[in-house]
Structure 1
Amino acid sequence: MVVGRETEIGILKQALQSTEAELIAVYGRRRVGKTFLIHNVYADRLLFDFSGMYNSTMREQLENFGNMLTSASKAKIPLAIPFNWIQAFEVLKTYITPLLKKQKSVIFFDEFPWIDSRKSGFLAAFEHFWNSWASRQNNLVVVICGSAASWMIRKIINNRGGLHKRITQKIRLLPFTLNETEAYLHSKRINLDRYQLLQLYMVLGGIPHYLKNVKPGESAAQVVDRLCFSKDGMLKNEFENLYSSLFEHSEKHVAVVRALGRKPSGLTRSEIIEANKLTSGGAITKLLEELSESGFIMSYVPFDKISKENIYKLSDEFSRFYLKFMEGSKALGMGTWIKQSATASWKSWSGTAFEGICLKHTAQIKKALGISGVYTEESGWRYVGSKDEQGSQIDLVIDRQDFCINICEMKFSIADFVIDKRYASDLQEKLNVFRERTKTRKALFLTMITTFGTRPNEYKLSLVQNEVQMDALFEKL
């Protein structure tokens, strides 16, 4: 059963109705459900399904190709291993040509970047296969899929060679939203309340492969205990495998992720370079693009700043959790996370994690505020103070075309959040500094985004203009 993904399913099904050949590129981070989606939508139309093998030679890939073609064609005698990729595609053409006369059918190449090993000539051979033959087969859909999102964008989507402007549809598959996560777990008869779901999302994000390991009857803390801290936990070694399987020289990518993990408020490009002793230039630009396209980091232009001052933040929930609580931890066994989740360290971290979730659900926040139809620009803002002046930071600024700005404060708590005298003073100071430093003349609406709401008192009544509660983040758009 496919949960959510309505837009993506629509694109894939529409390709079957097309009167022309279709070349569809699907990309997204590891474990996000790309293969599952293709197999489910095209289950009865797949003529050939081939997946690249990680870190394998050209010979090994070709041998696997031959084996898969033998299986697909139900040949009684194993087919000879192709000598090269040009020959491999010729054999594939011979097999599928008569089958295309029956109905529109699909060829699926999974983990496409892995097939293109060094000096293999695979990409050039595929380009020739598509341009000289496949593009003329009106009954054919070719789907190419890869977890190395940056490779897919650079070599396929933005190809300047034989595949230039040949892609007919592209799909970037993102992790589940909170709404999709809730629907997915309900489909597995797992009924956690939304506070528990938020805690689970803080660790697992919306990654279907992680979520499918949640069991009925477990609390969020029990799930995290079992997956992350038990001796054979499924996610125990996930961090090391995650980046190495996606990027060449992944140690540099991991170094940037670590630097951002140490600074939840984010770093500029120059700060990332300084923190990791890197050199400025095309290499760091490529590295940041790869992490961004793969969904591990996000960037934004600070309010009223220029683009070269982008702030980068670590946006992958599991990486953030791993670096804070799993790496170097000697604590193992059931009950480990239940104990840690009662500490002050968890309380501080959960606030930052909740902010990250809110930033991924700004469309739901806008809907709750009744401004879905208003053009807005979302950003953050920070002011570094001097010795005699306190700095200030706002993680979400919603700048509206109707001459208003929502200044959003995000607070994660187990009950109604209480604005006391000290915090009220801090909020007022934040509003004052923002107006003074940005010189904006727009109306400022202090907006509280909380789990269970903000308790009414004199400070709330005098300061808060709008309020969004946890349930709004679970809304379907």
Structure 2
Amino acid sequence: MLKGEKMELLIGRIAEKKILSEALASPSSELLAVFGRRRVGKTFLIRSVFQKQLIFELSGVHDANAAEQLLNFSKAMADALDSRLTPAVPKNWTEAFWQLREFASPILKKRKAVIFFDEFPWLSSHKSGFLSAFEYFWNQWASQQPNLIVAICGSAATWMIRKVVNSKGGLHNRLTRKIRLLPFTLHETEQYLKRNNINIDRYQVLTIFMVMGGVPHYLKELKKGESATQAIDRLCFTKDGLLSTEFTNLYRSLFENADRHISVVRALADKPSGLTRNEIIAACNLQSGGTTSILLEELVESGFITPNLPFQKNANQSIYKLSDEYSLFYLKFIEHSRATGTGTWLKKSLTSSWRSWSGYAFEGICMKHTDHIKQALGISGVFTETSAWRYISKDGKGAQVDLLLDRQDNVISVCEMKFSSTEFVIDKTYAAELQYKLEVFRRQSKTKKTLFLAMVTTYGVKNNMYSIGLVQNEVTMDDLFLP
């Protein structure tokens, strides 16, 4: 951020602000790490909370060598010194950290100060010696400075976890605080759009969220006076639309050998009901073993896929689903779209493929807002285990529940999630399907608990002869937007 530049307001991030404020109030030195997917607002969070204490900031450059990164270090040092003359470029990272120490020491004698390394994994390029020099800098000097906070950020979430959070080397157990920054919730997304003078109703906000999730960098592209359909048209289906080409950049900037990650994402996009680890291995021709475990962990930690624990099963039998809204939308509608330009999305959004896809996308959003569903059901204070369940009989007939809330008050809430543009109508066929699902679940799980069917919909369920007596609880779109 340039000197004198006005910082825009930080939306949401209540828990994260609390962690960073506690670091500011701490009487000891602090080493804190913020990690999460690209474009989620990590840098913005650090700059917003620490803007008065920030004395030095350096950002790594993707695929740059050590010489280029060190040149950027000397330029960052010139900014910190408020000097027009760039200091001599350090020969290596050990010398760079000595310069930083000399610069920071007199400031730290007087006040609290923050040194910020952004895109930390990119600074640690091959054979650069960056990480070992940083470890020495922290262990031998920075950790002894009670007025110092060193903040490090990285989009390559797994690198951050392996080399920093769970470091076996010089940073082992050195982190004092960590934040895994997730995209905005629906509530934060609505707040962010309103702050940008974009006043659209919640159904349209939900539609936008289905396409790009709560990623601030994408939401920033929306324009005042534009409907959700117009915005999707412009961003996804025009030549220069940000989201028309973001997909490959997104994965390649986060992961080495990103092709394997992309193949897993593609396999899950083709199977919205989810795949087990073994099914992923078979679908993507992967080897069973540690490398696949790391691959899946990398995608989970970066927020692209989510393991759902099956009812009464252990974590080894988790069902993985693609939980990144943008990736799901890109692979379904953008990648092979022949039609482009104004009006493309208006036509596509009237097709049956949009209707079936939007149902899956809505389910995914509900899964991310499980706490809101519990709140709406009045069970926030009740201990609850969240799981999924699926069953396929020998004759191929089956049933699946994407969200089960197994409650300590002797009830299991069976949640059915349905997206529609009006009140949802349960007809005779769907009522029979729901009844069958509840019966099969009770028989297969052998549970003695009471089963409550909870419908999670956009505008509620229309009262008719099929819904009365079948639906115990209702959760609407508005409940998902609660703070």
TM-score by length of 2: 0.97
Distance 2:236 2:160 in 1: 30
Which amino acid is 1:431 matched to? L
1:10 aligns to 2:18 (yes or no): yes
The residue number in structure 1 matching 2:337 is 329
Distance 2:358 2:188 in 1: 21
Deviation at 1:38, TM superposition (A): 0.9
5 Å matches for 1:31-42? 31-42=39-50
SS at match of 1:462: coil
1:409 aligns to 2:405 (yes or no): no
Equivalent of 2:139 in 131, 135, 146: 131
Distance verdict in 2 for CA 1:76–1:319, change over 3 Å: closer
The residue number in structure 2 matching 1:228 is 236
Distance 1:336 1:394 in 2: 34
Deviation at 1:467, TM superposition (A): 0.7
The residue number in structure 2 matching 1:169 is 177
The residue number in structure 2 matching 1:421 is 428
Distance 2:295 2:232 in 1: 30
Distance 2:126 2:345 in 1: 43
Equivalent of 1:456 in 455, 458, 463: 463
Equivalent of 1:266 in 264, 270, 274: 274
Deviation at 1:330, TM superposition (A): 1.4
The residue number in structure 1 matching 2:355 is 347
The residue number in structure 2 matching 1:62 is 70
CA-to-partner distance for each residue in 1:234-271, whole Å, 9 max, x for gaps? 11110010000000000000000000000000000000
5 Å matches for 1:328-407? 328-387=336-395, 390-407=397-414
My pick for the range that moved more, 289-298 or 459-468, is 459-468
Distance 1:249 1:307 in 2: 27
Distance 2:53 2:262 in 1: 40
SS at match of 2:127: coil
Deviation at 1:78, TM superposition (A): 2.2
Q: After the TM superposition, which parts of structure 1 deviate over 3 Å for at least 4 consecutive aligned residues?
A: none
Distance 1:392 1:416 in 2: 24
The residue number in structure 1 matching 2:108 is 100
Distance 1:315 1:144 in 2: 26
SS at match of 1:53: coil
My pick for the range that moved more, 209-218 or 8-17, is 8-17
CA-to-partner distance for each residue in 1:30-55, whole Å, 9 max, x for gaps? 00001011111111211100000001
Equivalent of 1:160 in 160, 168, 177: 168
SS at match of 2:45: helix
The residue number in structure 2 matching 1:145 is 153
1:245 aligns to 2:245 (yes or no): no
Which amino acid is 1:425 matched to? A
Distance 1:223 1:207 in 2: 15
CA-to-partner distance for each residue in 1:264-308, whole Å, 9 max, x for gaps? 000000000000111100000000000000000000210012221
CA-to-partner distance for each residue in 1:140-180, whole Å, 9 max, x for gaps? 11000001111111111111211111111111111100000
The residue number in structure 2 matching 1:214 is 222
TM-score by length of 1: 0.98
Distance 1:77 1:360 in 2: 49
Equivalent of 1:84 in 89, 92, 108: 92
The residue number in structure 2 matching 1:304 is 312
Which amino acid is 2:203 matched to? Y
Deviation at 1:103, TM superposition (A): 1.1
Distance 1:161 1:153 in 2: 13
Which amino acid is 1:349 matched to? W
Report how many residues are paired. 475
Deviation at 1:77, TM superposition (A): 3.3
1:440 aligns to 2:428 (yes or no): no
CA-to-partner distance for each residue in 1:328-373, whole Å, 9 max, x for gaps? 2111101111110011110110011000000000000000000000
Distance 1:190 1:104 in 2: 38
Distance 2:375 2:86 in 1: 58
Distance 2:14 2:110 in 1: 28
5 Å matches for 1:197-212? 197-212=205-220
5 Å matches for 1:264-303? 264-303=272-311
SS at match of 1:433: helix
Distance 1:457 1:157 in 2: 54
Distance 2:232 2:262 in 1: 23
SS at match of 2:254: coil
The residue number in structure 1 matching 2:438 is 431
Distance 2:65 2:130 in 1: 12
Distance 1:267 1:50 in 2: 40
Distance 2:147 2:434 in 1: 61
Which amino acid is 1:57 matched to? N
Which amino acid is 2:453 matched to? L
My pick for the range that moved more, 37-46 or 245-254, is 37-46
Which amino acid is 1:289 matched to? E
Distance 1:370 1:21 in 2: 42
Distance 1:329 1:381 in 2: 34
SS at match of 2:57: strand
Percent identity over paired residues = 60
Distance 1:75 1:355 in 2: 54
SS at match of 2:197: coil
SS at match of 2:56: strand
The residue number in structure 1 matching 2:5 is none
The residue number in structure 1 matching 2:4 is none
CA-to-partner distance for each residue in 1:119-146, whole Å, 9 max, x for gaps? 1111111010000000111111100000
Deviation at 1:76, TM superposition (A): 4.6
Deviation at 1:102, TM superposition (A): 2.3
Distance 1:76 1:404 in 2: 68
Gaps of 5+ in 1: none
Deviation at 1:384, TM superposition (A): 1.4
